């Protein structure tokens, strides 16, 4: 799919990986709708981009909120061609705390709700809008790019909820692609390694340097623009479908 003149909805597009994807789409000549719960950052990011970028405050865990975001996107631009799901949280917590108490069920459920259910929620509504598009010369109507993590495969200590949520995203990639094949909508997932995003911004520089040193090659934190570059290739390569791509510079995480 050529990005120029296409319309992309970016979940979690106010910062980090999502913001990088929003910039990539805009620079490639596409139209962008940013869906994020952070109204201040989302509005500011929309102002920085060209092509009448739209911001819609969106809670990905709520059906009505996502439905409103997709409706607003279609109303503004007339269609929806691309969805990139980047909204996510990663609060660390062990199954049993230092005081011997179990991890609260609500804490686990919250991570699943935002990361996994939120991605599904965005995909289901966006796919229904894409299915109404007139197919291009290859029969394609839309592309969905989800975000998993290498934690789905090598979850570390304290990452049980995050790893479970990201494993769920990886696991729904193929059946989602198969479900949407008849509608001409492709589904792919990126599983990034350690990226320089707001999730890591609060760490001391020493900790960030240590994390980067553990990456085989290049020994550096991934940059959001590198994630966006892969998302662009997925969008533009029509034969990529139903697969999870690790973007981790050969990193395999240890227990902690």
Please list the residues that pair with 35 across neighbouring strands.
11, 56
Say how many C-beta atoms besides its own lie within 10 A of residue 61's C-beta. Answer: 17
Contact 13, 83 (CB under 8 A): no
Instruction: Establish whether 162 is a catalytic residue.
Output: yes
Among candidates 151, 139, 145, which has minimal Cα distance to 177? 145
Question: Which is catalytic among the residues 31, 153, 162, 239?
Answer: 162
Among candidates 55, 81, 58, 76, which has minimal Cα distance to 68? 58
Contacts of 188 (CB under 8 A, 6+ apart): 143, 144, 145, 146, 173, 177, 234, 240, 241, 242, 243, 244, 245
Q: Which residue stretches of the chain are H helix?
A: 16-27, 39-48, 63-77, 105-111, 118-130, 151-154, 160-180, 198-201, 205-213, 224-236
Q: Which residues are catalytic?
A: 162
């Amino acid at each position: 799919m050529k990005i120029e003149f296409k319309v992309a909805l970016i979940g979690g597009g106010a910062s980090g990986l999502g913001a990088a994807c929003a910039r990539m789409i805009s620079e490639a000549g596409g139209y962008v709708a940013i869906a994020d719960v952070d109204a201040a950052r989302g509005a500011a990011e929309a102002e920085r981009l060209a092509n009448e970028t739209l911001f819609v405050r969106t809670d990905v865990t709520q059906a009505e909120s996502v439905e409103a975001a997709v409706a607003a996107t279609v109303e503004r631009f007339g269609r929806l061609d691309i969805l990139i799901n980047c909204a996510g949280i990663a609060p660390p917590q062990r199954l049993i705390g230092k005081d011997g108490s179990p991890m609260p069920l609500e804490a686990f459920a919250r991570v699943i709700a935002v990361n996994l259910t939120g991605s599904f929620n965005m995909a289901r509504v966006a796919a229904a809008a894409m299915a109404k598009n007139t197919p291009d010369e290859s029969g394609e109507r839309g592309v969905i790019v989800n975000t998993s993590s290498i934690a789905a495969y090598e979850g570390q200590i304290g990452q049980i909820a995050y790893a479970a949520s990201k494993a769920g995203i990886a696991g729904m990639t193929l059946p989602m692609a198969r479900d949407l094949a008849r509608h001409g909508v492709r589904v792919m997932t990126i599983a990034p390694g350690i990226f320089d995003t707001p999730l890591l911004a609060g760490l001391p520089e020493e900790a960030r340097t240590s994390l980067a040193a553990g990456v085989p090659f290049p020994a550096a934190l991934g940059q959001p623009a590198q994630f966006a570059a892969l998302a662009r290739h997925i969008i533009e390569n029509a034969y990529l479908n139903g697969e999870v791509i690790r973007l981790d510079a050969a990193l395999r995480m240890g227990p902690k």
